[in-house]
Structure 1
Amino acid sequence: MAILVTGGAGFIGSNFILEWLHEIDEQIINLDLLTYAGNPENLAGLAGNTRYLFVQGDIGDMPLVSRLLTDYRPRAIVNFAAESHVDRGIHRPEDFIQTNVVGTFRLLEAARGYWQHLPGAEQEVFRFLHVSTDEVYGTLPPAAPAFTEKHPYAPNSPYSASKAASDHMVRAYHHTYGLPVLTSNCSNNYGPYQFPEKLIPLCLHNALAGRTLPIYGDGLQIRDWLFVADHCSAIREVLANGLPGEVYNIGGWNEKTNLEVVRTLCTLLDELKPRADGKAYGEQIAFVDDRPGHDRRYAIDATKIERELGWKPKETFDTGIRKTVRWYLDNREWVDSVTRGSYRQWINQQYGA
């Protein structure tokens, strides 16, 4: 038995693969194009593991995907492959359309052709799990109820619009062709191997380098924070027991403002890695111009997945963020390796030198 994972060299995908191979005795084929956020070093520890196969390629390459499906006959596809950084989507929206919309369509087409020709028993158990985001639901007023699976889509950025389009395409392939799909919409992930463009690893990297910690606007944007290992366990549960055609929201029940998150990071660094000059890391916080169309609040109601599948997160924000900070402190070589060259150019463009 095997599963095909797309985008498995990225942040969430690599964590999923590492945990899957630790928990489950089943082969993984990892298809990843290795764009800026895909890093094979995330999975370097799997060298020589006969249950892991890496293939560099694009989900939009239908002949390649079809060949992998024919050769390895996976019982499931788990689609993590996506352009996912909102700021990059503002500058280069076409990349997001190509990967998130066209790429997902072509992956679905390859999956449909493969699934339709499977023998009856294999066709019955096959699943296509599409990993998406809470950003497709748009923004919430401060006191509004959290997003449920019934919340209407109202994306506000090129990134979230492209993910919304891919979600709709996945739904359509189930209702039109019967493809047994599952969709998960998760809140903000954090944890090991996250590329240092996102808020938490960016601020950790800058803090240790003595640079400013850039906070958009007033820093009071609210997000629900989900530790990546909890997200991976939820995906395994959805894949194993989710009902085809259903959507499952995955959240951490941890609403925090961006400013609160960064101040928590500073407090932990003051404890675990004090500055040589004895000053507090909080002095490095700096407010920068808000990004265009910045949603004010996201919040996930994860009641359905707990009620129907028995899943709930193990980590609180306090326990998860401490594990995250310790990992980044213990893996400075990994951070250094992904923050050279084009990364520095992007950060200077986005936040100023």
Structure 2
Amino acid sequence: MSRPQEPHRPLFHFGNPFRMISPKSSQLSPRLQAQLNAFEETLGDRLRKLIPQDKNEILSLTWMKSAMESLCESHTDIKTLITNLELPVTDWDEKWIDVYLDISVKLLDICIAFSSEITRLNQGHLLIQCVLHNLESDPSKKFVRARATLDSWRQHIGSKNPRLHNCGSILNSLVESLDLPKVKNSAKGKVLMRAMYGVKVQTVFICSVFAAAFSGSSKNLLHLHISDAMLWAQAYSDLQTCINGEIKDLFLHGNFTVLKELEAVDLIAKKLFPMVEDGLEANEVEAFQNSLTDLGKQAGKFSHGLDVLAKEVDVFFKIVLTGRDALLGNLRMSDTMTDPVLGINVEQQQVVR
């Protein structure tokens, strides 16, 4: 077969994946059941760790970094599970491969959109640095320049990133992909499909939260109903209720952003703007200096949080990309091994290349 050149097939309509993964007649061996249980219990623990003890932690850049880190760990665990199952790609059903390739492309697109928004936010941080430089060096002579830069900050942060526009449609298609292909006569395949289902749910959820945070809209939030038969179902439900509920509440109260560090910087910038615009009164000098100090601290936290998050998004991008490349490489290798026309073995083919 020649998978890389074929167009992606349409994804399956959303249904009950658990029914297809574990039909009534299926029985897993104790070893396979233990592998599946271990995977799902680890996933459940991972989801529980993302439930903040304090709601003020929700959508801090620190929490977002932890969420992306958790996602990377789950995708790495899937690779490990495939190895432990000793399920070679030649045994994969073509439908599994189609779904995997389609999902991987969409996840790469989402990563690119997220990275673009992080870069845009970092550009906003540079504007704050310009404000601080002007006001800390000689504020009396540079108020006009600082005022213009603060105004540019407000416009920049309030603008929308066009790269985020497609996130909603991508997320909806990923929800459709939760409906898994039927697994026939393969106990290992059933284990893999159920494990992949869990990771895809985690992926869709975290990506939807990021999309909502970056776009400034709760429309990108998704609410998924998970079968209680999944060992991680309760942990997921608790996490989803906690995070989605708080984000919706923030937007209902008119917050222009739900990113905690960005909100902290913006609040100080709003406090500074009238001082810079109208000039300082004698009784405002101390408050002005305190605001500058606070702005420097909060801007530093904001910049550091963005840098750390950008690295985690990049790690996830590379995990998805290398997994996709490995699958395509294995498919090409299987073509080589089974093509009777070539008449050479794998080692000879590698030498030729």
TM-score range, shorter chain: under 0.3
Does 1 or 2 have the higher relative contact order (CA < 8 Å, sep 6+)? 2
Greater gyration radius: 2
> Which structure dedicates a bigger proportion of its chain to strand?
1
TM-score, L = length of structure 1: 0.23
